[in-house]
Amino acid sequence: MRTLIKNIKNIIGIIEEPQAYKKAEALSIVESLNDGFILIEDEKISDYGPMIDCPTEADETIDASGSLVLPAWCDSHTHIVFAASREKEFEMKIKGMSYEDIAAAGGGILNSADKLKDCSEDDLYLMAKGRLDEVTQYGTGAIEIKSGYGLSVESELKMLRVIRRLAANSPVSIKSSFLGAHAIPAAYKERREDYIDLIINEMLPQIAEEKLADYCDVFCEKGFFTVAETDRILKAAAEYGIPPKIHANQLSCSGAVQVGIANNAISVDHLEIMGDAEIEALLNSNTIPTVLPSCSYYINIPYAPARKMIDAGLGITIATDFNPGSSPSGNIPFLLSLACTKMKLTPEEAFNAVTINGAYAMQLENEVGSITKGKLANLIITKNIPSLTYIPYMFGTNHIDKVLVRGRVM
Ligand code: NIG
Ligand code: FE
């Protein structure tokens, strides 16, 4: 099957030779080509170039006159498997309660775990599939999804099986993270060691046996899991060959970034509260920092110092953190706006952070995240808009005409 996209006003995000990710000044470089075509064969980009070289034969042709074509977004941090929304907490927040106050009042992660326990795997799957389909329409073509609203052997496995089913039934590239260490369940409040033993001795072996997780996550934070507990859990996961991607420095500067790096984390995520030592540690590592601006927007906490991190020489990823409690949105175009207006990134930096760098944060940089021959044809065809900058500039408007995943219009 040959699909030809022709008369493209501007192809944006070309990377000729595969590369890991972009950092420092290189983060602002976006290669593009005016008046071009893209040829798709067997789910992949087989060729692209100027219209004068456009092939004439194809099984299907899409005329993209007036449109930009971009690589589909890569969202490397989400929690889209959940059983119920939490808009009551939204009202509590409006009245002045903080994220921590709400959690202490029985809201938060434990609230989600309570709802999920009574939800069947089929119902959970259908709700998560709905969210996946929705974010695909916003342009997401690769996504990481976490467990962490189970907090028992049975429910954590249920969540991870739902993620596996999503991956089996969708062309979107999906990575899964085991986040049993998301919160201490109420029943273990006075004996947290026992819950950590449960994670290490019961959950991890079964997850490894069923190959249900690509990564192991821990919410390393004051009131959640300590640095020492995080270290113990990550080392146990490493014995099964499951590398870390962790929640770090969201509410405090706790040593989470350093413990992630020490355990060779693929990424450390959140980073709203960062010191110079954290930036220095990241500069000396292969761990990619991931920032989540819609979480800052929604729960009113500081934005991660992304500008400072890039100026110091780092590369960053931007992800949605789509979840019912701290970021009830999976909309990457909105993130581009937040990254520009609140974090002072240029549109080009923000674009690279949600494409090639997002792919790297899921170890998918050789498959997705750029217009490269041989990569999957995960593409966004925009409406008739003037430029890449127009997307974060005119925020809240849908600029997407079509999304292709593995060459298929979604
Ligand atoms: O990434 N920080 C921890 N976990 C989620 C929020 C979970 C929730 O409130 O349900 C996050 O923000
Ligand atoms: Fe998260």
Average pLDDT over residues 35-55: 98
- Of 360, 378, 395, the residue at which a domain comes to its end is 360
For residue 112, the ligand 1 atom closest to its alpha carbon is 10
We report the CATH number of the domain holding residue 394 as 2.30.40.10
Decide: helix, strand or coil at residue 382: strand
- Spacing, Cα 98 to ligand 1 middle (Å): 13
- Has residue 64 got a pLDDT over 90? yes
pLDDT value for 305: 98
Of 223, 253, 247, 222, whose CA–CA distance to 233 is shortest?
247
Atom 5 of ligand 1: nearest residue by CA position: 326
Instruction: Indicate yes or no: pTM above 0.85.
Output: yes
Q: How many domains does the chain have?
A: 2
Selection from 300, 148, 316 nearest residue 225 by Cα = 148
Q: What mean pLDDT is predicted for residues 210-234? A: 97
Phi/psi at 146 (5° precision): -105, 155
| Residue nearest (by alpha carbon) to ligand 1 atom 3 | 219
- What is the mean predicted confidence (pLDDT) over 356-374? 98
307 lies in the same domain as 405: no
Q: Is the pLDDT of residue 225 over 90?
A: yes
> Are 52 and 82 in the same domain?
no
pLDDT tens-digit map of 257-287? 999 999 999 999 999 999 999 999 999 999 9
* Lowest pLDDT segment from 100-114, 178-192, 235-249: 100-114
Q: What is the DSSP string of 233-268?
A: HHHHHHTTT--BEEEESSSS--SHHHHHHHTT-SEE
Q: What average pLDDT does this structure show over 297-305? A: 95
Q: Which residues line ligand 1 (CB under 6 A)?
A: 108-109, 112, 219, 247, 250, 295, 321, 323-326
Q: Are residues 51 and 135 in the same domain?
A: no
Query: Whose CA is closest to 150, among 191, 98, 189, 195?
Result: 195
Last residue of a domain, one of 341, 360, 379: 360
Same domain, 217 and 313: yes
Q: Which pLDDT does position 103 carry in this prediction?
A: 83
Compute the average pLDDT of residues 369-386.
Answer: 98
Q: Which ligand is nearest to the CA of 222?
A: 1
With 90 as the cut, is the pLDDT of residue 402 above it? yes
Q: Do 212 and 311 lie in a common domain?
A: yes
Outline where 263-331 has alpha helix (H): 276-283, 293-299, 306-311
pLDDT band at 108 (very low <50, low <70, confident <90, very high): very high
Amino acid at 267: S
- Lateral strand order in the sheet of 317-318: 73-75, 140-146, 173-181, 215-220, 245-248, 267-270, 288-291, 317-318
* Packing angle of the helix pair 347-354, 332-343 (nearest 10 deg): 140
Q: Which atom of ligand 1 is nearest to the CA of 99?
A: 9
Mean pLDDT of 308-326: 98
Identify whether residues 68 and 113 lie together within a single domain.
no
- Note the pLDDT of residue 280: 98
Express the helix, strand and coil content of the chain in percent, nearest 5 each.
40, 25, 40
Burial class (CB in 10 A: 0-12, 13-18, 19+), 194: exposed
- Residue 18 is predicted with a pLDDT of 78
Q: Name the residue range of residue 288's domain.
A: 73-360
- The answer on 373 and 352 residing in a single domain is no
Q: Are 36 and 94 in the same domain?
A: no
